[in-house]
Structure 1
Amino acid sequence: MELVNFLSSISWIAFLCFGFGFLLVIVEMFHPGFGFPGISGGILLIIGVILTATSVMEVLILLAVIISVLGIALTLVLKSATKGRLSKILILHETQKKEAGYTGTEDLKYFIDQEGITITILRPAGIAEFNGIKLDVVSEGEFISKDKKVKIIKVEGRRIVVRQIE
């Protein structure tokens, strides 16, 4: 009986605040970014609680109801994100393959077997110049002094391995 009295005591302004608040927060769940809908929805839910609650116990009950409703909505959104329509919007389904010309990093393999001069000391990392291009390089582990001739022996992504030549 008290629940019926409590529900009947909610003003239409508070009811609209709750309705639009839930709607805006759920819209924010479907379009993540914590922007206007999420903030506005949260503010409207707080206003709805302020307009409705007359005691601390009612505030706690309303907060529990709000958290429960939003928890259920979030569960549905996450389920939709993994299997439903939302996954088609948020998840990239195309792949960028090397055969089609896509690379994750710059391909530096064309530097293999080129010779250059160390600009800094390699301990084992440093800088060397190859045909006017300065590159970050790594020796095979040994110390190589400045102004020594080196040859690129291996390229692994952005890691360029050099060996001193006589």
Structure 2
Amino acid sequence: MEILDFIVQISFIQGLILIIGVILVIVEMFHPGFGAPGITGAILIIIGIIFIASTFQQALILIVLVLAILGIALSIILHSATKGKLSRSSLILKHSQQKSTGYIGMEDLEFFLGKEGISYTVLRPSGVVDFDGVKIDVVSEGSFIPQGKKVKVIKVIGRSIVVREI
């Protein structure tokens, strides 16, 4: 009977704050991202509990109630995600960064192929070459190349740039 009296005493605004907080946390569960709805929802839940509960027992009841609702929502979301029914647009990136559309990864050094530069250090066979102010670690084709000599990139294998003296 005490719980029923407690629920009747809740004003419209206090209940609305708590309900909006729960809804925002559930929205964050469905569309994970920056976290603004989740953080705002958590703050509203805390404010709602503070405004509604006048005793520790009432606060504890509200916390258990909110956690039960969020737990049920999370189990529904996880069940939907495992069955493939959850909207994939919010969980999976659809666009890929491809070389043909202009994206170049940090590890892709193909654009150095054919470029000429000056050996910044001695290449025995590895060293540093200056390509128009950009200093890159390179490997010579196998021969010794002194410092200050002009070199050309003949092949790129992953992160390894192979040069030959001109």
TM-score of the alignment, normalized to the shorter chain, above 0.5: yes
User: Which residues in structure 2 correspond to 1:54-73 (within 5 Å)?
Assistant: 54-73=54-73
Distance in 2, matches of 1:125 and 1:87, equals 48
Residue 20 of structure 2: aligned partner: 20
- 2:45 is the counterpart of 1:45: yes
Residue 137 of structure 2: aligned partner: 137
SS state at 1:41 partner: helix
Distance in 2, matches of 1:13 and 1:27, equals 21
Percent identical: 42
* Change over 3 Å in CA distance of 1:89–1:48 after alignment to 2: closer
Q: Retained in 2: the 8 A contact 1:20–1:44?
A: yes
User: Unaligned stretches of 5+ in structure 2?
Assistant: none
RMSD: 3.7
Residue 7 of structure 1: aligned partner: 7
User: Unaligned stretches of 5+ in structure 1?
Assistant: none
Distance in 1, matches of 2:68 and 2:123, equals 61
* Change over 3 Å in CA distance of 1:68–1:126 after alignment to 2: farther
TM-score by length of 2: 0.66
Task: Choose 87-96 or 65-74, whichever is displaced more.
Answer: 87-96
Residue 156 of structure 1: aligned partner: 157
Distance in 1, matches of 2:5 and 2:55, equals 15
Q: Write the letter of the residue equivalent to 1:34.
A: G
Residue 117 of structure 1: aligned partner: 118
Q: Retained in 1: the 8 A contact 2:77–2:86?
A: no
Post-superposition offset of 1:155: 0.8
Q: Write the letter of the residue equivalent to 2:25.
A: V
Post-superposition offset of 1:21: 1.5
Q: Write the letter of the residue equivalent to 2:27.
A: V
Q: Retained in 2: the 8 A contact 1:137–1:161?
A: no
Residue 33 of structure 1: aligned partner: 34
SS state at 1:139 partner: strand
Q: Write the letter of the residue equivalent to 2:47.
A: I
Q: Write the letter of the residue equivalent to 1:52.
A: I
Q: Retained in 2: the 8 A contact 1:30–1:77?
A: yes
Deviations 1:85-132 (A, max 9, x none): 42134323455666xx245435626725x6643034558442333xx5
Distance in 2, matches of 1:143 and 1:54, equals 83
Distance in 2, matches of 1:44 and 1:64, equals 16
Distance in 2, matches of 1:84 and 1:122, equals 58
